[in-house]
Chain A
Amino acid sequence: MGRFILKRLWQTLIILLLVSVVAFMLIQFIPGDPVYVMLGENISKEYHDTVYESMGLNQPLTTQYFNWLGNMLRGDMGYSYHFRKNVNQLIASRLPVTLTLGIISAVVSVVLGVFFGAVTAVKRGTATDTTLTVLANIGLATPSFWIAVLLVYIFSVKLGWLPAVGFTLPWVNFQKSIRQMILPVICMSMGGVASYTRQMRSSMLEVIHQDYVRTARSKGLPENKVIWRYAVKNSLIPILTMASTTLRGCIGGSAIIETMFNIVGMGQIMVIAINYCDYQLLQSSLFFMAGITCLCNLIVDIAYAYADPRIRLE
């Protein structure tokens, strides 16, 4: 087990190194002078030169890269010219927002998806199964921004029950936070619920036909115990590998949902950084988010190994 963790840790480090190269090189491909692209053509030559130098653009590429990487490792993520703030400050204020939304959505996706998936598999062939499977297929085909439009139209415009914009952290104002979070969370978790339902269903159907489930039945285990203790538990193992994809999806999805509900989070920052070519903000936030995803992957892999003795005891 220790060796397994060590191996994954080593792989994660390599991945992060590769991500840092990709994030860094990406920016180099933007055509034109980066400072003019970032701050517009009508800035003074002196200002341009100061910024150019302070960003270290006059140094060779490799030096730039290692400086940036060194700064990142020391915890200095650079300066955002668009927001006129340190990237550290920006991320510190916005990460909690995105993480709160992301984690809640991911949990909702997993819990509901696994539940629906288990139900459809157990009730295979019945009306419940058909209805839920059809709904899951529709959910998978529906763009999150469209469902957002629909929900805003119904619950904000027509009924006026829920706010269409804004976000408050739960520990600031709990009630307001919940009201503001309902719609974004539904939009962000819809796709996840749908895909977990489908995955769980096929995983369960596969496990139900395994020999050890037959063994469980042959020793007289009541059906509900066969389902819960054998089928559901064993089906969850492959589902676990999906968990990291969900988080990645939630972060990617936050770009859209945060823009729509005007939530000041990481997704919005990244969209802005891309639209305004805010170099250091883009590099650093890409690297930072990739780092978080890698960390989650690592946790998921370890959990996976822990849940499955076939891997743990290899």
Chain B
Amino acid sequence: MLQKARKFCTVLFSRKIVLVSALVILFFAICAIASPLMAPCDPYEQDLSRRLEGVSSEHWLGTDQLGRDLYSRIVYGSRVAFMVGILAVIAAAVMGCAIGLVSGYFGGWVDQVLMRLMEAQMSIPPLILALALVAVFGRSIPMLIFVLGVSAIPNFARMMRGQVLSVREMDYVAASRIRGNSNTATMVRHILPNCISPIIVIMTQSIGGSILAEASMSFLGAGIVPPTASWGAMVNDGYSYIYDAPLFALAPGVAIILLVLAFNIFGDGLRDALDPRLRGAL
């Protein structure tokens, strides 16, 4: 088992860029877990006399409109990005896979209804849907996770359905029934495990998108409630002061790009490592 894991890691990290992206993710993860250690200042401490300052030894990236240390706020912002990004994807995957599983396994009218429902959802732009849901259910971090999760359901449902449909037709599934396994046992023992790995890949690849969605929501003022630090909200705050302090709006965005890029590349790496057929087709 250990040997297998090691072999897998060798393949996964055989491309330098995947290793680098893993390190970037690790760095941000440390920022999120140990924010007080990584941030030089208190991200909530206001000092109105020192608003919108530039780069200095005290404030590495300057201060915001309330005189708070920008660098520290970016460090703390990684908490929201990670929490919302990852949990929203997990929520989406759980709900989506359940729908996809039911749809693909039972087929018939259940499948028809569920798939039309998914298409119905997909005909509404996800950002608008998320905004509307937030308007209805209110603003809070758990709600944001739920809302972003819901808007990503169709991807997982469709993916899972396709997987189930193709795996269901495999000979080894018929073989399992011939050996006397019940439908449930076949499902649990042979169909599910073979559907999982592409789902894990899609999940990793979706985290980046989910972080972007959180940033967009916060940017539009429908995400994280201030004063909690969120990268998207910081860009929005900074946009008003673009003439005086360009770094205020631009720096949090760089953090978003780095983390999202790292997750996307890591996801691609994972896909290539799990599916040798796709290797190099990035």
What string of 1s and 0s marks CB contacts (under 8 Å) between A120-161 and chain B? Answer: 000000000000010001101111111001101100010000
Q: How far, in Å, is B197 (CB) from chain A's closest CB?
A: 18
Q: When each residue 121-146 of chain B gets 1 if its CB lies under 8 Å from chain A and 0 otherwise, what string results?
A: 11111111001111111100000000
Q: List B contacts of A146 (CB < 8 A).
A: 235, 249-250, 253, 256-257
Question: Is B125 a contact partner of A289 (Cβ separation < 8 A)?
Answer: yes
Could you say which interface size class chain B belongs to?
Answer: 35 or more
Residue of B nearest to A133 (CB): B282
CA–CA, A291 and B124, complex, Å: 9
Is A57 located at the chain interface by the 8 A CB criterion? Answer: no
What is the CA–CA distance of A275 and B123 in the complex, to the nearest angstrom? Answer: 21
User: B215: CB under 8 A from chain A?
Assistant: yes
- Using CB atoms and an 8 Å cutoff, list the residues of chain A in contact with chain B: 11, 14-16, 18-19, 22, 26-27, 29-31, 133, 137-138, 140-146, 149-150, 152-153, 157, 198, 201-202, 205-206, 248-249, 251-253, 255-256, 259-260, 267, 270-271, 274-275, 277, 282, 286, 289-291, 293-294, 297
Beta-carbon nearest neighbor of B258 in chain A? A141
**C-alpha gap A146/B258 in the complex (Å):** 13
Contacts of B261 in A (CB 8 A): 137-138, 141
In the complex formed, the residue of B with least CB distance to A144 is B216
| A19 B257 Cβ-Cβ under 8 A | no
How far is it, in angstroms, between the C-alpha of A149 and the C-alpha of B124 when the chains are bound?
Answer: 27
Q: Are B132 and A256 in contact (CB under 8 A)?
A: no
Having A153-B246, A289-B128, A293-B125, one finds 9 other A-B pairs with CB under 8 Å, namely A26-B132, A137-B261, A149-B239, A149-B250, A153-B249, A153-B250, A202-B278, A251-B128, A256-B220
Partner of B253, one of A27, A143, A253: A143
A114 to B249 alpha-carbon distance, docked (Å): 32
Tell me if A22 and B136 are in contact (CB < 8 A): no
Residues of B contacting A271 with CB < 8 Å?
Answer: 131, 220
**How far does the alpha carbon of A206 sit from the alpha carbon of B238 in the complex, in Å?**
44
Q: How far is the CB of B117 from chain A (nearest CB, A)?
A: 6
| Cβ of B153 to closest chain A Cβ, rounded Å | 13
Contact A157 B132 (CB under 8 A): no
- Of B117, B124, B280, the contact of A290 (CB 8 Å cutoff): B124
Question: Does any Cβ of A come within 8 Å of B52's Cβ?
Answer: no
Interface centre among A149, A153, A251, by most chain B C-beta atoms within 10 angstroms, is A149
Interface pair A270/B131, CB less than 8 Å apart: yes
Whether A143 and B215, one on each chain, are in contact in the complex, defined by CB atoms closer than 8 angstroms, is: yes
Question: A residues within 8 A CB of B236?
Answer: 145
Q: Which residues from chain A contact B122 at a C-beta distance below 8 Å? A: 248, 293
Closest residue of B by beta carbon distance from A145: B219
Residue pair A248, B235 in contact (C-beta under 8 Å): no
Contacts of A138 in B (CB 8 A): 257, 261
**Contact yes or no, A18 B125, CB < 8 A:** no
Question: Chain A's nearest CB lies how many Å from the CB of B3?
Answer: 32
A22 to B123, CA, bound (A): 12
- In the complex, the chain B residue whose C-beta lies closest to that of A254 is B125
User: Which of chain B's residues have a CB closer than 8 A to the CB of A282?
Assistant: 132
* Nearest CB of chain A from residue B44's CB, rounded to whole Å: 24
Q: What are 26 A-B contacts with C-beta separation under 8 Å?
A: A14-B116, A26-B132, A26-B136, A137-B265, A141-B208, A141-B212, A141-B257, A141-B260, A142-B253, A143-B212, A145-B215, A145-B232, A149-B238, A150-B250, A150-B253, A205-B280, A251-B125, A251-B128, A271-B220, A274-B128, A275-B135, A286-B128, A289-B128, A290-B120, A293-B122, A293-B123
Q: How far is the CA of A88 from the CA of B24 in the complex (A)?
A: 49
User: B136, A19: Cβ atoms under 8 Å?
Assistant: no
Report B78-123 residues with CB < 8 Å from chain A CB: 116-117, 119-123
A150 cross-chain contacts in B, Cβ below 8 A: 250, 253
Q: How far is the CA of A83 from the CA of B177 in the complex (A)?
A: 63
Residues of B within 8 A of A16 (CB): 120
Contacts of B119 in A (CB 8 A): 11, 15, 297
Residue of A nearest to B138 (CB): A31
List chain B residues, Cβ under 8 A from A141: 208, 212, 256-257, 260-261, 264
Task: Say yes or no: B128 contacts A252, CB within 8 Å.
Answer: yes
The answer to whether A157 touches B243 (Cβ under 8 A) is yes
Residues of A within 8 A of B265 (CB): 137
Q: Is B242 among interface residues, defined by CB-CB distance under 8 A?
A: yes
- Closest A residue to B115 by beta carbon equals A11
Closest to B125 in A: A252
Q: Which of A19, A198, A277, A294 meets B282, CB within 8 Å? A: A198
From the candidates A142, A249, A267, name the one contacting B257 in the complex (CB within 8 A): A142
Neighbouring A residues of B281 by C-beta, 8 Å: 201-202, 205-206
| Residue in B closest to A198 when the chains form the complex, CB atoms | B282
Residue of B122, B238, B265, B278 with most partner-chain A CB within 10 A: B122
- Chain A residues within 8 Å of B280, by CB: 205
**Which single member of A14, A143, A202, A275 contacts B216 (CB below 8 Å)?**
A143
The answer on a CB contact under 8 Å between A252 and B127 is: yes
